[in-house]
Amino acid sequence: MNTKAHWDNAWTDADPKNKSWYQDLPVHSLELIGACAIAHSEAIIDVGGGASTLVDALLTQGFNNTSVLDVSHAALQNAKDRLGARANHVKWLCEDATNWTPAHPFRLWHDRAVFHFLTAKEDRQRYRAIAEAAIVPGGYLVMATFTLDGPEKCSGLPVIRYSAQTLTATFGDRFRLVGETTEQHTTPGGTVQKFQYCRFLRV
């Protein structure tokens, strides 16, 4: 099964609140985005946002230039249905994060739990190249992956686990680490997943 088929299958007729990664409010992401202190009119993209509630919170805070990218049409439709009329204020992109051409640059790029699924070196290289080209100098990359002692798999797929140091080394000298934190995320099923959050300045 290819990537798109896997995630469409995962989301079809699924209740997002039962998914292991579900959060009522993505507190850590919002804190790191807030630390970037960008204007509400500046371009933000949530890569792999799918049915995440981050976009709801960003709209509520007044951000009005937000895009959500996900490889799964079903996940994006779930978010649109949840938002109702507010979905018209978001740009929805059904794309593979390792193989797309952004239509415009972004001041902030957010990714919670996409990058750690990229177990092939060439996929990581393509992702990094797209992010590097798309994020304006002085912009930010906010990323969350499983920690070094986090889960080895998610949604039946293997992942690569990271620390702040290994993630910094992976993204290279065009991204400078300016903030990091960890989270012990409790899934709807009661399992604890450890996440590493990093905030990078695009230099």
Lowest mean pLDDT among 5-19, 158-172, 179-193: 5-19
Determine whether 26 is exposed, middle or buried from the number of CB atoms within 10 Å of its CB (0-12, 13-18, 19+).
Answer: buried
CA dist., res. 40 & res. 47, Å (int): 18
Domain positions in the chain are 3-9+24-194
From the number of C-beta atoms within 10 Å of its C-beta (0-12, 13-18, 19+), residue 110 rates as buried
Kindly state the tokens that stand for 82: 């949840």
Q: Which CATH superfamily is domain 3-9+24-194 in?
A: Vaccinia Virus protein VP39 (3.40.50.150)
Q: What is the pLDDT of residues 1-32, one digit of tens each?
A: 577 776 666 666 666 676 666 788 899 999 99
With tokens 């007729």, the residue in question is: 13
Compute the 3-state secondary structure of the chain and give helix, strand, coil in percent, each to the nearest 5: 35, 30, 35
pLDDT at 165 over 60: yes
Give residue 190's pLDDT: 85
Confidence band for 187, pLDDT divided at 50, 70 and 90: confident
Segment 28-56, tens digit of pLDDT:
999 999 999 999 999 999 999 988 999 99
* pLDDT for res 147: 98
Whole-number pLDDT of residue 12: 64
